[in-house]
Structure 1
Amino acid sequence: MRRGWLIAAAIVIALVLALLGAGRLGVFSGTPPTDLGVHDGRFKPPSATENSVSSQARLHAESRPPASARINPLPLRGKADASITRLRSVLEATEGVRIVLAAPDYLRAEARTRWLGFVDDLEFWVDPVDGVIHLRSASRLGRRDFGVNRERIDEIRARYLGLGPKPD
């Protein structure tokens, strides 16, 4: 009986180590989408599954994003360039987030989970017509993210607005 428990424990430990090793090797990072960016004032639609959020979800009713994909844009904090600079500082201070592309009105970043290395794509665009920063955050892999993208954006929003811990 005891020998069976030891074998089972050894198998579980081996599986956990294999998963962690696979994550470190980038097995779970996925491939960056080729259609990111702003096209005609829009991001690509949020996923049809529950693994993304977008402040433009309502603009993509034809792709039938779930209600969970809807999130509010960020307000501008002063002028557009100052707002994007502030947001960039918040992103740079966010653990696991790496800025991939920075323009005067657009930021693209990747957020990597600590243990398994799953990657989410984050986009932020200053909409001069609506006077907001539209955002999109989506998992590259999987059908559900258990609210991780929304939680990350909520944390970024709080720090951007000065309601959360200040970036270092």
Structure 2
Amino acid sequence: MKHRSRFLTLLLGLVSATAVAGPSADFIERGQLAPCPSSPNCVSSLATDDGHRIAPLAVPGDASTQMAALLAVVRDMPRTEIQAQTENYLWVVFSSRLMRFRDDVEFLLGPGDGVQVRSASRLGYSDLGVNRARVETIRAKLSQGARVSVRASE
């Protein structure tokens, strides 16, 4: 009975930790993406250290074209849920297949072709490179989409 109680406590802790609201209020309050914590379970194109830094996404076109491309890519990926969208901001939650861990991915569109991106785990210390791999998958899919749209217009 003691083990069952510990298991239920652990399970409730995991469920409540993954149900917490996503990104900090940095974007809402200041119009910018939150910095990564010191833990290695986050990547950001705005980070200055090599452990967290990832290149911005190159998405050609104006903000509406960029947003359409991002939406097409993330909607095609498994276990995604769009949480918030404005004309220059997109917040998507990705859930892992097995344990349903939730990761927050934010996109901030700006002038030019660069889209700032932040991907962070809500739980744990290390993500074993999952957030970096996810952003690189999105980058590859965006690149494939750009090649397809160029061919279609020729």
TM-score (norm. length: structure 1): 0.71
Counterpart in the other structure of 2:75: 92
Separation (CA, whole Å) in 2 of partners of 1:162 and 1:28 = 36
Match of 1:37 among 27, 30, 33: 27
Counterpart in the other structure of 1:53: 43
Counterpart in the other structure of 1:6: none
Match of 2:128 among 119, 122, 146: 146
Separation (CA, whole Å) in 1 of partners of 2:34 and 2:119 = 11
Separation (CA, whole Å) in 2 of partners of 1:133 and 1:111 = 19
Separation (CA, whole Å) in 1 of partners of 2:19 and 2:125 = 13
- Give the number of the structure whose alpha-carbon radius of gyration is greater: 1
- Secondary structure (helix, strand or coil) at the match of 1:37 reads helix
Q: Deviations over 1:72-108 (max 9, x none)?
A: 0011322221011111110111111111111111100
Structure 2 residue runs of 5 or longer lacking an equivalent are: 1-6, 149-154
Check the 8 A contact 1:28/1:118 in 2, yes or no. no
Counterpart in the other structure of 1:9: none
Q: Deviations over 1:39-94 (max 9, x none)?
A: 54531111201000000002xxxxxxx52210000113222210111111101111
Check the 8 A contact 1:29/1:119 in 2, yes or no. yes
Check the 8 A contact 2:46/2:116 in 1, yes or no. yes
Structure 1 residue runs of 5 or longer lacking an equivalent are: 1-17, 59-65
Counterpart in the other structure of 1:11: none
Alignment size in residue pairs: 137
Counterpart in the other structure of 2:95: 112
Separation (CA, whole Å) in 2 of partners of 1:38 and 1:46 = 16
Counterpart in the other structure of 2:142: 160
What is the root-mean-square deviation in Å for CA atoms of aligned residues?
A: 2.6
